[in-house]
Amino acid sequence: MKSLDNINRRFILKASVSLVTATTSLAVLANSSIAITPKQPEGPFYPIKPQQDKDLDLTEVQGSTKPAKGEIIEVTGTVFDQDNRPLANAVVDIWQANAAGRYAHEQDSNDAPLDPNFQGWGIVKTDERGFYRFKTVKPGAYQVSKQWSRPPHIHFKVAKRGYRELITQMYFSGEMLNDTDALLQEAPAEQRHQLIVDFSTAKDNMAKQGVFNLVLAKI
């Protein structure tokens, strides 16, 4: 017969192994979660004028034969939830200033020229992999006040049923104005990198490309 002490020791050892396994599993689960994209203000220039052409290519306006002015870029990314799962059919809505730093918006008093060939506003849905893409131009910086100039940035609004709507802004790496921008500096220091994107030229594409992933919080 097995002694009672041997049975107890085996029971304690088995329980200890189970506890270690459970703890490890929880740690792996915790590490699989990702930080929600920091929120940013919507700003005063969200489009309010109806616009028929709101597709993924902002460099061409329906009915025009001329392209938008400025440096053409491609912004791609994936929309995730907090558990690092891609979200299909999320609505990704962007708007931005043109290459001269002006929005096609009635409230923008900037005296920079408008670009009639720049779409300025686009809406797409993510595919089954949570992926989205926009072709646009790098927006220009613009002055808010004597003490403050905004760096180039693109506004994002992302929505999906069952998740909290995310409004944020994407910034470009290497811009000196990033360091003094009041809105970018409001983002938590440890998460600020999530809003800043590095753009590089693809071998088979003349446009610079950058990846801006977005993470939504569940309701």
Q: Which residues are catalytic?
A: 103, 142, 150, 153, 155
Q: Kindly report the CA angle at 51 between 45 and 56, in degrees rounded to 5?
A: 85
CB 171 within 8 A of CB 151: yes
| Residues shown for the chain | 219
- 101: left (phi > 0), else alpha (psi -120 to 50), else beta? left
For 58-63, the CB contacts below 8 A with 24+ separation are: 58/94, 58/96, 58/118, 58/119, 58/120, 58/121, 58/122, 58/134, 58/135, 58/136, 58/137, 59/118, 59/119, 59/135, 59/136, 59/137, 60/117, 60/119, 61/116, 61/117, 61/118, 61/119
